[in-house]
Copies of this chain bind each other. A is one copy, B any other.
Amino acid sequence: MSKASDQAYEELRSRILSGELAPGTQLKEEELATLCGVSRTPVRAAIRQLEAELFVRRTDSQRSFVAEWNNDDLEEVFVLRGMLEAYAVRRAATRANASVISGLNAANEAMRTVIEALDFDLPAYLAANARFHALILETAASDRLASLLGKLVLQPVVQQTVRAYSREQLLRSYREHVEITTALAQRDPDWAEALMTAHIRRALHARLEPAEG
């Protein structure tokens, strides 16, 4: 995409994530065009993109709304994401080199630093987490897999998941990342896959049952 399309996309995406455009809100092209300071054309492109990424749903009569999430949707996304990320990490295990491993270690260190800090820096945590998963996906070297996962790694979901985490759960998640990294360094696809499956599954349950700590 180009300038105006990107602008519209970023603008809408961030407003959806922040909740300014709440779930269920109807997205009207003209209104959004004014909001983003571009014409309807790039707004249309942005909406279609967000629709492909499941941030937006479309009715039969072609009207767009900010997607709403119930527990079934949530479980569905986590299960699918679990399958695909497990496959990704399996592929990554046979492709990871020293530079990948050190990249993963760096992301893990960043995450630990955030967790151990006195005031919790959510954006930094999310960035480190995203870097870890993105690096694995990149190492898996599968365009199609990346394209599918792109539609499932839904930031609002992850965000809420992290909010629901206690510090102990965050630490546990960090340790899982470290162990996955070890499995990759050992080039053990089975180990990596099993760990990733458990990792994603734990995130689902953390999200379904609010943290107790």
Cβ contacts under 8 Å, A62 to chain B: 1-2
* A contact residues, total (Cβ < 8 Å): 22
Chain A contact surface mostly: helix
Are A76 and B147 neighbours in the complex by a CB distance under 8 Å?
A: no
Question: What residue of chain B has the Cβ atom nearest to residue A144's Cβ?
Answer: B76
Stretch among A77-85, A124-132, A202-210 lining the B interface: A77-85
Are A80 and B2 neighbours in the complex by a CB distance under 8 Å?
A: no
Asked if A21 lies at the interface with its beta carbon under 8 angstroms from chain B, I say: no
Q: In the assembled complex, how far is the CB of residue A182 from the closest CB belonging to chain B, in whole angstroms?
A: 25
Contact surface of A with B, Cβ cutoff 8 Å: 1-2, 45, 48, 52, 54, 62, 73, 76-77, 79-80, 83-84, 87, 142, 144-145, 147-148, 151-152
Q: Which of B1, B145, B151 contacts A147 (CB 8 A)?
A: B151
Distance of A185 Cα from B178 Cα, bound (Å) = 44
Distance of A84 Cα from B45 Cα, bound (Å) = 28
Q: Which of B45, B52, B73, B83 contacts A83 (CB 8 A)?
A: B83
Distance of A109 Cα from B83 Cα, bound (Å) = 33
Q: In the assembled complex, how far is the CB of residue A155 from the closest CB belonging to chain B, in whole angstroms?
A: 16
Q: How many copies does the complex hold?
A: 2
Q: In the assembled complex, how far is the CB of residue A52 from the closest CB belonging to chain B, in whole angstroms?
A: 6
Q: In the assembled complex, how far is the CB of residue A44 from the closest CB belonging to chain B, in whole angstroms?
A: 8
Q: In the assembled complex, how far is the CB of residue A33 from the closest CB belonging to chain B, in whole angstroms?
A: 16
Are B76 and A80 neighbours in the complex by a CB distance under 8 Å?
A: no
Distance of A84 Cα from B148 Cα, bound (Å) = 11
Question: What residue of chain B has the Cβ atom nearest to residue A87's Cβ?
Answer: B83
16 inter-chain pairs at a CB distance below 8 angstroms, sorted by A residue, are: A1-B62, A48-B48, A54-B144, A54-B147, A76-B142, A76-B144, A80-B84, A80-B87, A80-B144, A80-B145, A80-B148, A83-B83, A83-B84, A147-B151, A148-B148, A148-B152
Q: In the assembled complex, how far is the CB of residue A88 from the closest CB belonging to chain B, in whole angstroms?
A: 11
Distance of A79 Cα from B90 Cα, bound (Å) = 12
Q: In the assembled complex, how far is the CB of residue A58 from the closest CB belonging to chain B, in whole angstroms?
A: 10
